């Protein structure tokens, strides 16, 4: 198993990473952001891809509930 890269100084100073994505909403797209607690972009992306089914369901549930802030669905990793 590969070890993940250590965070760079810039990544440490930037703090936790987020991943932006879109989901289909009829004939349009809905912007979404997943805020993670992970220090590197690579780790955040790996978490996102590994947990995509759960993240997509959460985004669709938020869309159905109408919890959109400034035109964007914001999810937070717990």
pLDDT in tens, 13-60: 677 899 999 999 999 999 999 999 998 888 999 999 999 999 999 999
Burial class (CB in 10 A: 0-12, 13-18, 19+), 32: buried
Strands 18-25 and 28-35, how do they pair?
antiparallel
CA distance 63 to 27: 14
Which pLDDT belongs to residue 9? 76
Would you place residue 77 in the very low, low, confident or very high pLDDT band (cuts 50, 70, 90)? confident
3-state secondary structure of 77: coil
The whole-angstrom distance between residue 76's C-alpha and the CA centroid of its chain comes to 7
Residue 11's CB: how many other CB atoms inside 10 A?
Answer: 19
């Amino acid at each position: 198993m590969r070890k993940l890269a250590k965070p760079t100084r810039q990544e440490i100073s930037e703090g936790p990473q987020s991943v932006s994505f879109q989901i289909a909403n009829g004939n349009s797209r809905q912007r979404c952001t997943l805020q993670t607690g992970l220090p590197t972009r690579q780790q955040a992306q790996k978490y996102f891809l590994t947990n995509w089914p759960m993240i997509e369901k959460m985004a669709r549930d938020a869309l159905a509930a109408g919890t959109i802030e400034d035109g964007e669905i914001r999810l937070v990793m717990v």
